[in-house]
Structure 1
Amino acid sequence: MPPFSPSAILTEWGISPVLFVLTVWAAGLYLYAVWRLHERGDRWPVGRTLAFVGGGIGVFFFATSSGLAAYDTTLLSVHMVQHMLLSMVVPVMCALGAPVTLALRTLPRRPRRWLLAVLHSRLARVLTFAPLALALYVLSPWALYFTGWYDATLRSDLLHELMHVHLVLVGALFFTPVLGVDPVPGRVSHPFRLLMLMLTLPFHAFLGVTIMGQTRLIGGDWYPSLRASMPWLPDPYADQHLAGGILWGSGDLIALTMFVVLFVQWVRASHAEARREDRRLDRLDAQRAAGAEPTRR
């Protein structure tokens, strides 16, 4: 590998066949469903399409095919950037794209019934149960970096790719009920969603500081052994310190951005509820007026 630089992120591209196929299918099916809606005269918000295809699937492709993927087993700091994109940015953007709602509006009758059965199943209710989803999201990185799991992903291409998918799925379980607009089980009130987001802030800080202060190298002898063939690599402990700082800083920055998104959603939901209540009161007034008119005559 040539020495890493910011420009290498844009020049050292490669394709992972399995993840590339998943990317193409996910984007293609979403765009096809949007086209189906427009063909029958229905509207679908452009922002949702941009969020899912550009912000979700696009970032997933970038994280798993660009120079980030080329160097993610060479530098722990680069892997950590990839980790944050896959575990936070991709799930949030996909959730804002409302893929479940789009599927329910475009699927034929029988597949739609199957999807509804899955959404109302006990397994779906358990997996999206807010405390469980939060626990999985918080504990998963600890299990990844402080067991032999991460070491195994460095030595196995299959486990490495499965780790990428795992980060997205765990993030989706947590962020879809919190920030998504789909009718999935596990959705809670906006104050509780705000509380769940707040609980992630100390988690990222504590995990990042723990990684920065570790005297044991994550990955064991993997990173020191690479310096024999790539002498440009930094000291593994210094790179691990940088990785912890990236996890801490970027985690808090992305979470604060999510607070803004959640606040905007909360305000919009409040306005929509106020409009529904106004329409309900207007209907009651109209019914009372219609009932009182014969009496006056």
Structure 2
Amino acid sequence: MQVELVVAAGSIQDLPPFGAGTFWSQWGLEPLPLVVTVWATGLYLVGVASLRRRGDAWPVGRTIAWLIGMLAFYVATSSGLAAYDTVLVSVHMVQHMVLSMVVPLSLALGAPVTLALRTLPRTPRGWLLAVLHSRVAKVLGFPPLAFALYVLSPWALYFSGWYDASLRSTYVHEMMHVHLVLVGALFFWPIVGVDPLPGRVAHPFRVLLTVLTLPFHAFLGVTIMGQSTLLGGDWYPSLHDGPLGAWLPDPAADQRLAGGILWGAGDLVGLVFFVVLFAQWVRSSVKEAQREDRRLDRLERREQLEHQRLAATEGAPPERPPSE
């Protein structure tokens, strides 16, 4: 294990001190994030263009939300955040929050499933509908299960051997990124409620689930800040023995900063999401009120027509019997 640590640390030995400049100068062309970003963005824009060619409208806000989500994903996995996420646990925590909250929330607001259902040919649309109505989708979309996965996964990540393994294995590291996005999507997608997915619940319950996530992030952040055991074991202290030791901060101090980032960023994004849900709730209530007004108007017009018909029938002269 020590040999593997030295080899992995050797790949990052020439990094300069982390800062705003290195965030831009340490970009890398990682194949998987680049391919995912290009294809996901391209297919989405092709779908939007297809709708517009046939005269159908698609909200600009949804397109912007999707582009923001894909940009956040690419930045988190290819910028200086990715270059330093195994050097500074505080940088990793920023990446964690972007992948688990900003990316899933933005992509969910983009409503890609709705776009796909409106633009795909009949056969692929049937496949997508079969997946959406499958038992697996219903189980994964069950709100309490998605909530449990979302709030418990970070505890499993940082208080088991998983995080230590992600530092020493490129494969585990990439799978951790995938896991953060997928678990975030399972939680945010049904709650946002834009796409026709299993697990959608009423707006009050969506707000409740969002509020319940806030203390979990805060408690985890405070726990990381206060514990004396370092995340990743001897990984971060060992980096001080190489060239990075000239500028690396104390691992314990960096870990306290990471816990504060988790606490503060989790609450901030949670509050933003709360505002989004509240706005959706108000908009839904307004639309429901408008539908109810239209229904009452139709009933009133029907009653008026019925009243006029009865009045006309009662005021009509009696019919003459047929002549013999």
Report the alpha carbon displacement of residue 291 of structure 1 after superposing the two structures with TM.
Answer: 2.3
Look up the match of 2:274.
259
Segments of 4+ moved more than 4 angstroms: none
**In percent, how many aligned pairs have the same letter?**
69
Q: 1:27 aligns with which of 29, 35, 41?
A: 41
Amino acid at match of 1:291: E
Report the alpha carbon displacement of residue 165 of structure 1 after superposing the two structures with TM.
Answer: 1.1
Look up the match of 2:317.
none
Q: 2:56 aligns with which of 42, 48, 51?
A: 42
Look up the match of 1:143.
156
| Equivalent pair of 1:37/1:44 in contact (CA under 8 Å) | yes
Amino acid at match of 1:33: G
Amino acid at match of 1:161: E
Write the mapping of 1:75-90 to structure 2, written as runs, cut at 5 A.
75-90=88-103
* Counterpart check, 1:169 vs 2:171: no
* Counterpart check, 1:214 vs 2:227: yes
Distance 1:76 1:180 in 2: 34
Q: 1:272 aligns with which of 287, 302, 317?
A: 287
Distance 2:38 2:176 in 1: 19
CA RMSD of aligned residues (A): 0.9
Amino acid at match of 1:284: L
| Equivalent pair of 1:19/1:161 in contact (CA under 8 Å) | no
| Equivalent pair of 1:72/1:82 in contact (CA under 8 Å) | yes
Structure-1-length-normalised TM-score: 0.98
Q: 1:188 aligns with which of 194, 201, 206?
A: 201
| Equivalent pair of 1:36/1:106 in contact (CA under 8 Å) | yes
Write the mapping of 1:43-122 to structure 2, written as runs, cut at 5 A.
43-53=57-67, 55-122=68-135
| Equivalent pair of 1:92/1:180 in contact (CA under 8 Å) | no
Report the alpha carbon displacement of residue 190 of structure 1 after superposing the two structures with TM.
Answer: 0.8
The gaps in structure 1 that reach 5 residues or longer are none
* Counterpart check, 1:17 vs 2:34: no
Report the alpha carbon displacement of residue 33 of structure 1 after superposing the two structures with TM.
Answer: 0.4
Look up the match of 1:281.
296
Helix, strand or coil at the partner of 1:185:
coil
The gaps in structure 2 that reach 5 residues or longer are 1-14, 313-324
Q: 2:308 aligns with which of 273, 293, 297?
A: 293
Look up the match of 1:244.
259
Report the alpha carbon displacement of residue 210 of structure 1 after superposing the two structures with TM.
Answer: 0.7
Report the alpha carbon displacement of residue 180 of structure 1 after superposing the two structures with TM.
Answer: 3.8
- Equivalent pairs counted in the alignment come to 296
Helix, strand or coil at the partner of 1:7:
helix
Q: Deviations over 1:158-196 (max 9, x none)?
A: 111111111011000001111241111101111111110
Q: Deviations over 1:211-270 (max 9, x none)?
A: 111111111111111112211111111111110010001111111111111111110000
Distance 2:75 2:129 in 1: 32
Amino acid at match of 2:73: F
